[in-house]
Amino acid sequence: MPKIISIGNMKGGVGKTTTAIHLAQQLGRKGRTLLLDADDELQCSAVWREGDFDGWTFEAQPYRAYQPSDGADFEYVVIDTKGNEQGGDLLSLAQQSDLLLIPTKPDGLSATGLIRTLTPLVEGGISNYQVLIVANMGGRGEELRDALAEQEIPVLTTIVRHSTAVGDAAERRVPLEALKGNRYAKLLALEYASAAREVLAHV
């Protein structure tokens, strides 16, 4: 059976698809990896993966086309959830996954959304989740990470910086590691690689 890692947050616009793409790209170097895109309308991660770049390390398909038997040939399955889930959705998702990864930005609105996201998990006794702080500017990410740790909320040590490289990579349909002309792209790729190593330690 594959290790199932779901990427979710009740708030949209928090780097969920970027995290799913780059986590799958890193896991694909460790074992055969499948990315499932659960957004039936936009299919952002599937479209990103459809680029001409020949160095993708994982396969991708819509979640609706997935059958559990399909996962037998994979070591890792990454699920890019539809976004704006309800608390019950995330609770079920965590129960069906080896790990629920919750990306969040360190700004006020995202932090408020994070609290709403975490509440049903904490109340439901869920422990197989980790928070990943992305799009960090200044020291706000470190402050949020430390505050979460103080509240005994599972949070990855790795923090991913803010950069326009993410939008450029999505537009060109390549992973950050392959993006040319942006000096921060490779640094972001390294940060996602670090996050992937932490994720592997939890599955």
Distance (Å, whole) CA 187 – CA 169? 13
Give the best-scoring range by mean pLDDT among 2-11, 22-31, 65-74, 100-109: 22-31
Neighbours of 106 (CB within 10 A): 23
Per the listing, tokens 């969040």 go with: 104
Distance (Å, whole) CA 168 – CA 186? 13
What was the pLDDT predicted at 13?
80
Range in 63-67, 119-123, 196-200 with the lowest mean pLDDT:
63-67
- Going by pLDDT thresholds of 50, 70 and 90, the confidence category of residue 43 is confident
Closest CA to 163 of 184, 141, 179, 194: 184
- Going by pLDDT thresholds of 50, 70 and 90, the confidence category of residue 42 is low
Looking at per-residue pLDDT, the higher value among 179 and 87 belongs to: 179
| Prediction pTM value | 0.93
What was the pLDDT predicted at 182?
87
Distance (Å, whole) CA 136 – CA 144? 10
Letter string b/e over residues 53-90, b meaning 16 or more CB atoms within 10 A of that residue's CB: beebebebeebeebeeeebeebebbbbbbbbebebeeb
**Is 90 exceeded by the pLDDT of residue 97?**
yes
- Going by pLDDT thresholds of 50, 70 and 90, the confidence category of residue 161 is very high
Give strand pairing partners of 5: 78, 99
- pLDDT 10s digits, 64-95: 888 777 777 899 999 998 776 666 788 888 99
What was the pLDDT predicted at 72?
79
Report how many domains make up the chain: 1
What was the pLDDT predicted at 200?
96
Looking at per-residue pLDDT, the higher value among 202 and 71 belongs to: 202
Contact residues for 83 (Cβ-Cβ < 8 A; gap 6+): 8, 9, 12, 16, 39
What was the pLDDT predicted at 24?
97
What was the pLDDT predicted at 89?
83
Per the listing, tokens 């949020």 go with: 144
Q: What is the CATH number of the domain that holds 107?
A: 3.40.50.300
For residue 194, the enclosing domain spans: 3-202
